[in-house]
Amino acid sequence: MARIEILNPAEHGDLRVDMSRTVARHHMVPVLANELGALAVDYPIVLTKNPETGQFVLFALVGLEAGENLFLDADGRWGEGYVPLDIQRGPFIAVRGKEEGQGAIGLDRDHPAIGEKDGAAIFAASEGGPALIEAVRPIVSKAMSGIAPTQKLIEILTEHDLLRAGQIEYSRRDEPRKVTGFYTVDVQAVARLSDAQLGALNRQGMLYALHLLAASLGNVRKLIVRV
Amino acid sequence: MSHPVRKVVIVGGGTAGWITAGTLAAMSRAADEQPLQITLVESPNVPIIGVGEGTWPTMRRTLRRMGIRETDFIRECQATFKQGAKFSRWVTGADDDYYYHPLVLPQGYFEQNLAPYWLANSNGASFSQQVCAQEDLCEAGLAPKKITTAEYEALANYAYHLDAGKFADFIRRHCVEKLGVEHVLADMTGVVARENGDIAAIETAQAGAIEGDLFVDCTGMRSLLLGGHFKVPFKSCKDVLFIDRALAVQVPYPDENAPVASHTISTAQKVGWIWDIGLQNRRGTGHVYSSAHSTDEAAEQRMRAYVREIGGDPDQLSMRLINIEPGHREKFWAGNCVAVGLSAGFLEPLEASAILLIEIAAQFVGEQMPATREAMDVVARRYNDTFLYRWDRIIDFLKLHYILSQREDDAFWIDNRHPETIPDSLAEAMALWRHQPPWHDDFDRAVEVFPAASYQYVLYGMGFATAPHPRGLSPDVARRSEQLLARKEAESRALLAELPANRELLGKIAQYGMARV
């Protein structure tokens, strides 16, 4: 479990954060509805179920087996392609502030990017640039504002019964492999919605999101060639 | 001139009425350009019986066909998952005497009969425990699926326990709101007959005459149309199945997080047996017995003792006594009227056949819905053949539980084994099974109610001995049998590790719901 503290100079002024070490080695990265446009040109976007609640969660596939990220370069950095907000934000996360209705930036103290030697100080300005906190603030803010539309999108997908179990078959070192346990948008089910439903989805900006999800599945091929 | 069937009138609104309405409406809407007009007439003054609270796995298909979300059903009907039945104290009456009739078929059921291998090598191990994983799951109190499993899908085959009163109300709302069923609250006062004896209309006190092309009698034990109007006689089977009384009582859990059994528990008594069905909010229990063998007072004492045993206080609970006439009508479809539910007949709830019979009746009528009145007599004859066969097989199967018991503690058990009380068809099958185990060919209908697997579970669960086969088992059969038993062990281990407790899953469904995929 992450250990989250509300960020403040008194407690965290001495910490340093190496933002190049933010990449966790997972084959699925949680993503948000307000970054779909950037994601959809690089990665297949799918849904899986939270094993504890059965609720759907939106993910970008960056690998085809546990622990595999096919987009990392030799140094373990995100080599090419859009970097999802969940990676960009590093150890920083939006939390509820001390006062009602107020937001604040939190820090995950157990995040591997945090140390006392390498990286940049959080609050002090570095040579020729603003403090790390200034660079992080808009990312955290964007991640925060993506939560509600992501929930809305998932609600639409389940309410209109638009998801189907997906499956990827490929070969690794000439061995046939199968990836299951994820769900994708059924475009035919989208097409069967009534004009009124489609109109409402379009006005909510969600119809485009559904098509981005469907189109992103073409990126499965890009994953397979990288294996 | 032919007379098309366009309007179906269902009389009676309990479990039978609403399942029939929903099934016929859903099937017709899927198949017909001009769907059947379906009207259900229900008395505002007659309460439903509502003791049938256990289903078969068929209920998943029935609900899905009606377009019902499983999440809604679980949440609104206090429903829980049922993975079969545990029969306690049926064989010897000892405290540790039990066996299971699970819903999962024996491993490799369609490729290999495991019974011969088990018979030769069991060394006293339980048949149901060795050939399928479900007994292990039930004993561990686990659910048959996970919160990530889609609606109606299973990791271990399952049925439901449900609150019959809530269930009828739940399906009614779905039928009226989603499937276009017309609901009329009125008391039936009479029948308007045609010259050929058919029902032209029923007369009601509140809504006048209601006409129809096909009438479905769901009026319960009173059987107002089939028994009343068509005078189809009732055929008692009390000479085979003695039970004629039920004493029902609802027992609350000690606290709201108490475990929920994921199987029906049937515990044999000195006379008769007690059912125990765990819903989300209470246990539905009841004692069925034979009035020829026990007084009502003695039965009440046994019921009170059981309630105390499971942690309830009988002084705080009210008991409901119901008279049962075991048996069925001589036929079920007469003229333009078919009886579904208690109006067709009733048997003790030993294998949860009441709701099952409603489902398969509604499905038959829906699938073979006559196009015209002229086609109806042929459909009716086939229906009667099929269902007389099914009732006979159910009676045989229920009787099987009694003739295999070795209990001697009351004349009830001894009388039950008297050859004169055993139907010829069952006696003949038993003679065969003494020499070879039940297998697919013993059951010749396309849609059998109980498969050979069920007979195997009960026969070998109750210690029946099929003689060793004189020609033995080939090495090939022995090897394949061993592989299947090993596969079952691996499946058991995997499921025991990943499945949640039944109560835990029900809590998650209440909180998060299940997905359709």
Highest-pLDDT range among A18-22, A171-175, B110-114, B206-210: B206-210
- C-alpha B396/C-alpha B399 separation (Å) is 5
Q: Is residue B482 very low, low, confident or very high in pLDDT (cuts 50, 70, 90)? A: very high
The whole-chain average pLDDT of chain B stands at 96
- The Cα B451–Cα B280 span in angstroms is 30
**In this predicted model, what pLDDT tens digit does every residue of B231-270 receive, in sequence order?**
999 999 999 999 999 999 999 999 999 999 999 999 999 9
Poorest-pLDDT segment among A50-64, B45-59, B293-307, B371-385: B45-59
- The answer, yes or no, to whether residue B217 has pLDDT greater than 90, is yes
Q: Do A49 and B508 touch (CB under 8 A)?
A: no
Q: How confident is the model at residue B461 (pLDDT cuts 50, 70, 90)?
A: very high
Search chain B and give the residue with CA nearest A154.
B515
- Read off the pLDDT of each residue in B478-485 and give the average, rounded to a whole number: 96
Calculate the alpha carbon distances from B416 to A56, A225, B291, B352 in Å: 55, 71, 14, 20
Chain B hits for A163, CB-CB cut-off 8 Å, are 515-517
Contact A153, A209 (CB under 8 A): yes
Q: Would you tell me which residues 123-152 of chain B have a C-beta closer than 8 angstroms to some C-beta of chain A?
A: 146-148, 150
User: Do B508 and A55 count as a contact with CB atoms less than 8 A apart?
Assistant: no
DSSP B299: H
- Cβ separation B147–A158 shorter than 8 A: no
Which residues of chain A are within 8 Å of residue B516 when distances are taken between CB atoms?
158, 161, 163
**End-to-end Cα distance, chain B:** 49
Cβ–Cβ below 8 Å for A51 and B148: yes
- Using an 8 Å CB-CB cutoff, list chain A residues near B147: 49, 51-54
Residues in CB range of A90: below 8 A, 6 or more apart? A17, A19, A22, A111, A113, A136
**CA distance, residue A49 to nearest chain B CA (Å):** 6
Given CB atoms, is B516 within the 8 Å cutoff of chain A? Answer: yes
Using an 8 Å CB-CB cutoff, list chain B residues near A54.
Answer: 146-148, 508, 512-515
Spell out the SS3 assignment of B446-482. Answer: CCCCCCHHHHHHHHHHCCCCCCCCCCCCCHHHHHHHH
Contacts of A53 in chain B (CB under 8 A): 147, 508, 511-512
**Tokens representing B127?**
């048949």
Residue B125 has pLDDT above 90, yes or no: no
**Partners of residue B513 in chain A, C-beta under 8 Å:** 54
DSSP state string for B400-439 = HHHHT----SSHHHHHHT-GGGS-HHHHHHHHHHTTS---
Question: What is the rounded CA–CA span in Å between residue B240 and residue B424?
Answer: 11
Task: Indicate the Cα dihedral angle B127, B131, B135, B136, nearest 10°.
Answer: 120
CA gap B42, B37 in Å, rounded:
16
> Which chain A residues are closer than 8 Å to B515 by Cβ?
49, 54, 56, 158, 163
- Residue appearing with tokens 């050939």: B131
Rounded distance, CA B325 to CA B235, Å? 10
User: Could you give the CA distance from residue A36 to residue A56 in angstroms, rounded to a whole number?
Assistant: 16
- How many helices (H) and strands (E) chain B has is answered by 15, 21
Residue B136 CB neighbours (<10 A): 21
In DSSP terms, B265 is beta-bridged to B86, B276
**B405 is written with which tokens?**
């018991």
Question: Each residue of B408-450: pLDDT tens digit?
Answer: 999 999 999 999 999 999 999 999 999 999 998 888 776 689 9
B512, A55: Cβ pair inside 8 Å?
yes
Which chain A residues are closer than 8 Å to B517 by Cβ?
161, 163-165, 183
- Taking contacts as CB-CB distances below 8 angstroms, the residues of chain B near A183 are 517
Q: Decide if B480 touches A, using CB distance below 8 A.
A: no
Whether A54 sits inside 8 A of B508 (CB atoms) is yes
* pLDDT for A1: 58
Q: Exposed, middle or buried: residue A4 (CB in 10 Å: 0-12, 13-18, 19+)?
A: middle
Inform me whether the C-beta atom of residue B513 falls under 8 Å from chain A C-beta atoms.
yes
B:54-83 residues touching chain A, CB 8 A cutoff: none
| H/E segment holding residue B362 | helix B353-367
Query: CA-to-CA distance for A135 and A89, rounded, in angstroms?
Result: 10
Mutate to test the interface with B, among A47, A48, A49 (most CBs of B within 10 A): A49
Report the phi/psi class of residue B386: left, alpha or beta, with left for phi > 0 and alpha for psi in -120 to 50: alpha
CB atoms within 10 A of CB B420: 7
Query: How many beta carbons lie within 10 A of that of residue B484, not counting itself?
Result: 19
Of A53, A161, A163, the CB nearest to B512: A53
d(CA B352, CA B371) in angstroms, rounded, equals 33
Q: Which are the contacts of B69, defined by CB distance < 8 A and separation ≥ 6?
A: B151, B516
Report pLDDT digits (tens) over B82-105: 999 999 999 999 999 999 999 999
Q: Do A54 and B515 touch (CB under 8 A)?
A: yes
Query: Tens digit of pLDDT for each residue in B295-306?
Result: 999 999 999 999
B267-286 pLDDT, tens digit each: 999 999 999 999 999 999 99
The helix, strand and coil proportions of chain B, stated in percent and rounded to the nearest 5, come to 40, 20, 40
Decide: residue B448, CB within 10 A, 0-12 exposed, 13-18 middle, 19+ buried. Answer: middle
B486 touches A: beta carbon within 8 Å: no
| Closest to A113 in 3D by CA, of A17, A13, A4 | A17
Cα distance from B80 to chain A (closest Cα, Å)? Answer: 18
Distances (CA, A) of B56 to A152, B104, B141, B384, B432: 37, 12, 19, 22, 28
User: For residue A20, how many other CB atoms are within 10 A of its CB?
Assistant: 14
Beta bridge partners of A17: A114, A120
Whether B148 and A158 lie within 8 Å, measured CB to CB: no
Record: contact B511-A183, CB cut-off 8 A:
no
Rounded Cα–Cα distance for residues B334 and B313 (Å):
48
SS3 track for B394-406? HHHHHHHHHHCCC
| B6 closest CA partner among B40, B32, B37 | B37
Residue A192's pLDDT is what? 96
Q: For this complex, say whether ipTM is above 0.95.
A: no
Distance CA A7, CA A15 (A): 11
Q: What is the per-residue pLDDT for A178?
A: 96
Q: Do A49 and B517 touch (CB under 8 A)?
A: no
Minimum-distance CB partner of A183 among B147, B511, B517:
B517
Are residues B147 and A53, on separate chains, in Cβ contact within 8 Å? yes
pLDDT in tens, A25-77: 789 999 999 999 999 999 999 999 999 999 999 999 999 999 999 998 888 88
**A158/B516 Cβ within 8 A:** yes
- Cβ pairs A/B, distance under 8 A: 34
Q: How far is Cα B397 from Cα B395, in angstroms, rounded to an integer?
A: 5
Contacts of A165 in chain B (CB under 8 A): 150, 517
Burial of B87 (0-12, 13-18, 19+ CB in 10 A): buried
Cβ separation A54–B517 shorter than 8 A: no
